[in-house]
Amino acid sequence: MAQHIVILTGAGVSAESGLGTFRDVDGIWSKFDPMELASPEGFARNPVKVLDFYNARRRNLVDAQPNAAHFALAKLEQGLAERGGLLTLVTQNIDDLHERAGSANVLHMHGELLKARCGACSAVMNCREDLSVSDACPGCGDVGALRPHVVWFGEYPEHLDDIAVALADADMFISIGTSGTVWPAAGFVLQARETGARTVELNLEPSDDGRVFDEAHYGPASEIVPDWVETYLT
Ligand code: BV8
C-alpha cells in the first residue's frame, strides 16, 4: 500500500555531525540566552552579538558532514517514491545536512542558516559567509538590514500550511531527534494522531513532554534511524 510518511526532525539528527543540540546538558541554550540570540528583540538590541552567534554556527556547518541518519532518510524518500508512496520531510533544523545527504524535498520550518534575509526589502539570498552590520543588501542597498533567514522565537514558522496538509494526509508520523519543547512543531504528533496516523518516536531518550507514540526506539540517530529504515523498506 503506497504510504505517505511525514517526518519531523530536530537537532538530535545532526548531533553526531558535530552540530550542537539546544537543550541537552551542554546544549546551545545552556550557554546562550535564546531570547537574546534567537528573537527579533534580541537582534534589534544587539545585532553584532546575534550575527556573530550565527556566523560561528554557519562556519561550523560548512565544515560538518551528514551522518548515517541523514543518508537513511534520503534512502527512505527514494524507497517510498519507488513504491508510489511519499515522504514529507519537515525539519526544525537550519542546517543543510538533509539536502547534502540527498533528501530532495525538505521543509525548513525554522528557516535556513545558509540563507540571509533583508529586513528592509524581504529579499532572501544564499549566504555562506559571515554577515556583518556593515553589509548592504544586494537587492535594495540598505545597510545593516541583513539577518539570518531563520525563524526566531515569536516569529511565524515557515511552510505551516503545507505541513498541515501533509499531516492531514499522513499514514505515519515519525518524530526524530527532537525534545518536543518548541511549538507549534511539538503539536504535530497530536495533529497526526487525530487524523489516524501511526506515530513513531526515534530519539536518544524519551522526549521530555511525555507525548504518546504508538512505537518508539531509543538510541543514537546514526544507529536507530538506518535500522528503522532498513526494516521498513525490506
Ligand atoms: C510562534 C531557529 C506564533 C533559530 C528556533 C504554543 C503555540 C505556538 C507558539 C508557542 C506556544 N507556546 C509557546 C510558544 C512560543 C515559542 C515556543 O515554543 N517556546 C518554547 C520554548 C516554549 N514558539 C515560537 O515562538 C514559534 N513561533 O509561536 O509563532 C505562532 C502561534 C501559533 C501557531 C503558529 C505560530 C517559533 C519557534 C522557532 C524558534 N526558533 N530555532 C536557531 O536555530 O537558532 S527553536 C530551536 O528549538 C531550534 O529550531 C530547534 O530546532 C528547536 C527545537 O529544538 P530541538 O530540535 O528539539 O532540539 P533540542 O536540543 O531541544 O532536543 C534535541 C533532542 O535530540 C533531545 O530530545 C535529545 O535527547 C535528542 N538527541 C540528542 N542527541 C541525539 C538525539 N537523538 C538522537 N541521536 C542523538 N545523537
- Residue 178 near ligand 1, beta carbon < 6 Å: yes
pLDDT at site 20: 83
pLDDT at site 210: 61
- Residue 27 near ligand 1, beta carbon < 6 Å: yes
Distance between Cα 180 and ligand 1 center (Å): 7
- Residue 10 near ligand 1, beta carbon < 6 Å: yes
Q: Pick the residue whose CA is nearest to atom 40 on ligand 1.
A: 152
Q: How far is CA 159 from the centre of its chain?
A: 12
Q: Among this protein's residues, is 70 annotated catalytic?
A: no
d(CA 182, CA 194): 20
Select the CATH number that applies to the domain covering 1-19+67-110+157-234 from these four: 3.40.50.1220, 3.40.50.2300, 2.40.30.10, 3.30.450.20: 3.40.50.1220
pLDDT at site 205: 92
Cell of 164: 498541515
Distances in whole angstroms, Cα of residue 62 to Cα of each of 17, 95, 103, 180:
11, 9, 18, 27
- CATH 3.30.1600.10 at 21-63+115-150, yes or no: yes
Which of 153, 209, 222 gets mutated to test ligand 1 (max ligand atoms within 8 A of its CB)? 153
Q: Pick the residue whose CA is nearest to atom 32 on ligand 1.
A: 184
pLDDT at site 117: 98
pLDDT at site 209: 65
Per-residue pLDDT of the chain (234 residues; tens, 9 = 90+): 679 999 999 999 999 999 988 877 778 877 888 889 999 999 999 999 999 999 999 999 999 999 999 999 999 999 999 999 999 999 999 999 999 999 999 999 999 999 999 999 999 999 999 999 999 999 999 999 999 999 999 999 999 999 999 999 999 999 999 999 999 999 999 999 999 999 999 999 988 666 789 999 999 999 999 999 999 999
pLDDT at site 180: 92
Contacts of 4 by beta carbon, 8 Å cutoff, 6+ apart = 85, 86, 87, 88, 166, 169, 170, 171, 172
Residue ranges per domain, the chain? Answer: 1-19+67-110+157-234, 21-63+115-150
